[in-house]
Amino acid sequence: MSLTQFYTATTLDGFIAAPDDSLDWLFVREQDHDGPLNYYGFVANVGAGAMGATTYEWILERHSEEWPYDFPCWVFTHRDLPTRPDVQLVSGDVAPVHRDLVEAAGDKNVWIVGGGDLVGQFADVGLLDEVIVFIACVTLGAGKPLLPRRLELRLEETARSVDFVVARYSVPR
């Protein structure tokens, strides 16, 4: 059965990006790329993804030559954005799009790539199964919050990956 997962990194004070959407704090941290809950192991089990417009624009800006994912993605937006053959622009309620994501994922998982508000929308309607977060040893004091709403979670697993504490949470129903 497919899981719908939010896999991300955050600062110790709970921000996934600086106020200007910068992730500079993230890319100077060391991690064990073969370690627990590592990205490569995670993404190998992803069959479809969803993201917000800001996340999509950030990815396009940094990967203009080559799209970094080999699975279809849905981008939630109300703006006109550049498109790609493997990306669908959508808006509105996440529930009908989730059905398409699960169908596209097949026997693999659905990754809600970001941002936090979009993840919260999936959680609000009971469509989020797990949160996997790498917690960095840095604070920003302000920025884009990990999850800008209340969400009850159950801790399932923790580990260390050099400069990160890694935690996997399930979302109780």
pTM above 0.75, yes or no: yes
- Give the count of domains, the chain: 1
149: in domain: no
Q: Does a structural domain hold residue 82? A: yes
Q: What is the pLDDT along the chain (173 residues), one digit of tens a residue?
A: 899 999 999 999 999 999 998 899 999 999 999 999 999 999 999 999 999 999 999 899 888 778 999 999 999 999 999 989 999 999 999 999 999 999 999 999 999 998 899 999 999 999 999 999 999 999 999 999 999 999 999 999 999 999 999 999 999 98
Asked if residue 67 is part of any domain, the answer here is yes
146 in a structural domain: no
Q: What share of the chain is helix, strand, coil (3-state, %, to 5)?
A: 20, 30, 45
Domain annotation covers residue 110: yes
Distance of CA 96 to the CA centre of its chain: 19
122 part of a folded domain: yes
| Residue-level pLDDT at 124 | 96
pLDDT of residue 105: 98
Q: By the 8 A CB rule, do 27 and 138 touch?
A: no
Residue type, 35: G
| Whether the bond into 106 is cis, omega within 30 of 0 | no
Instruction: Give the domain CATH number at 59.
Output: 3.40.430.10
List Cα–Cα distances, 49 to 20, 73, 160, 164, in angstroms: 24, 5, 26, 24
- Rounded to whole angstroms, the Cα distance separating 169 from 158 reads 9
Both tokens of 39, joined, read 């990205």
61-83: pLDDT as tens digits: 888 778 999 999 999 999 999 98
Tell me whether residue 148 is in a domain.
no
Q: Give the model confidence (pLDDT) of 115-134 as tens digits.
A: 899 999 999 999 999 999 99
- Give, to the nearest 10 degrees, the angle between helix 94-105 and helix 116-124: 90
From the list 60, 46, 47, the residue with the least C-alpha distance to 89 is 60
Domain, as residue range, for 37 = 4-9+30-136+155-164
pLDDT recorded at residue 96: 97
Give residue 21's pLDDT. Answer: 86
Residue 171 placed within a domain? no
